[in-house]
């Protein structure tokens, strides 16, 4: 009898564990009366302050003795026409521009921002704001590549970036289970590489990645990590990555709010651009 009871406990425990893994990750419910942003208005780091906050002064200079870091910015339609010469003169050497969102939005300022950064001498790239609740990952990768998210081996074009973070229009994880989210991301990355020959950069925050993918570590071997954390250090990274490639460290930088640091000197940045 005891033997049968033990087997029953193991069966029940295993069944419950499987059910928990198949459920959607815990997601925040929009506050009653809080306006939902207009579709297309999302941008990198939109949810970082709300969900992660700022653990320290965002403009803290990294301590001496660490690897040289190269300053960058990321922009979207919120910045309108960007003063690229001002940014270049202040030491900014690379930029990412929002190209697309879902399969329904193209940044109307993309040409000025993407070509303008290139025109002053920066190394530039494009990013896609993912909406996994609207269309599949491969479909969104195609839309991104077809509308500015491609790559060319000119030494000054960075691989496209997948911005995967809190859903500004609804629940945090877009209504997906953790395994379904991992599948969606994989579909996007696989299609992007098949179209461009490059592994896309993944932009995310550790807390979102843990909540919505279960802290999946399977992309770290191929896809550079762009971590979002508004603090004096990057903090704990998502599973699998032992180092970050880029770091969005503030939303209140000079000239353009979102400032970033590449984890290396300018020659390493050029290496990433050339592949």
Strand-strand pairing, 94-101 and 70-75: parallel
Catalytic residue among 52, 101, 142, 163: 163
165 is catalytic: yes
What would the two tokens of residue 208 be?
């979102």
What would the two tokens of residue 226 be?
């762009």
The strand pairing partners of 124, in sequence order, are 95, 157
Catalytic residue among 74, 101, 142, 171: 74
Nearest CA among 131, 186, 163 for reference residue 248: 163
Taking the C-alpha atoms of residue 193 and residue 179, their distance in angstroms, rounded to an integer, is 21
Q: Alpha-carbon dihedral of residues 103, 109, 111, 113, nearest 10 degrees? A: -120
260 is catalytic: no
Cβ-proximal residues to 272 (8 Å cutoff; 6+ apart), any chain: 158, 159, 224, 245, 262
The string of DSSP letters for 100-138 reads: EETTTEE-TTHHHHHHHHHHTT-EEEEEEE--TTTS-HH
Catalytic residue among 165, 171, 199, 260: 165
267 is catalytic: no
Place of tokens 């640091």: 261
Taking the C-alpha atoms of residue 132 and residue 188, their distance in angstroms, rounded to an integer, is 10
Query: Backbone phi, then psi, for 82, in 5-degree steps?
Result: -90, 140
Q: Which are the catalytic amino acids?
A: 74, 163, 165
């Amino acid at each position: 009898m005891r033997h049968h009871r033990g087997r029953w406990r193991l069966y029940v425990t295993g069944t419950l564990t499987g059910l928990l893994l198949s459920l959607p990750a815990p997601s925040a419910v929009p506050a009653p009366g809080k306006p939902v942003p207009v579709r297309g208005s999302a941008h990198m780091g939109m949810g970082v302050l709300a969900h992660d906050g700022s653990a320290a002064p965002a403009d803290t200079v990294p301590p001496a003795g660490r690897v040289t870091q190269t300053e960058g910015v990321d922009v979207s339609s919120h910045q309108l026409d960007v003063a690229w010469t001002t940014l270049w003169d202040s030491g900014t050497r690379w930029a990412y521009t929002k190209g697309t969102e879902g399969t329904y939005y193209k940044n109307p300022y993309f040409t000025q921002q993407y070509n303008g950064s290139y025109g002053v001498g920066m190394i530039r790239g494009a990013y896609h704001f993912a909406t996994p609740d609207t269309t599949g990952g491969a479909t969104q990768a195609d839309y991104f590549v077809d509308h500015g998210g491609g790559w060319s081996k000119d030494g000054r074009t960075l691989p496209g970036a997948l911005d995967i973070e809190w859903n500004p229009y609804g629940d945090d994880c877009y209504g997906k289970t953790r395994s379904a989210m991992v599948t969606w991301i994989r579909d996007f990355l696989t299609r992007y590489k098949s179209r461009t020959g490059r592994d896309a950069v993944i932009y995310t925050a550790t807390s979102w990645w843990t909540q919505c993918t279960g802290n999946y570590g399977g992309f770290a071997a191929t896809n550079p990590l762009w971590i979002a954390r508004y603090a004096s250090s990057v903090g704990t990274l998502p599973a699998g990555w032992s180092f970050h490639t880029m770091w969005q460290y503030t939303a209140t930088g000079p000239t353009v709010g979102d400032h970033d640091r590449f984890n290396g000197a300018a020659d390493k940045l050029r290496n990433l651009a050339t592949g």
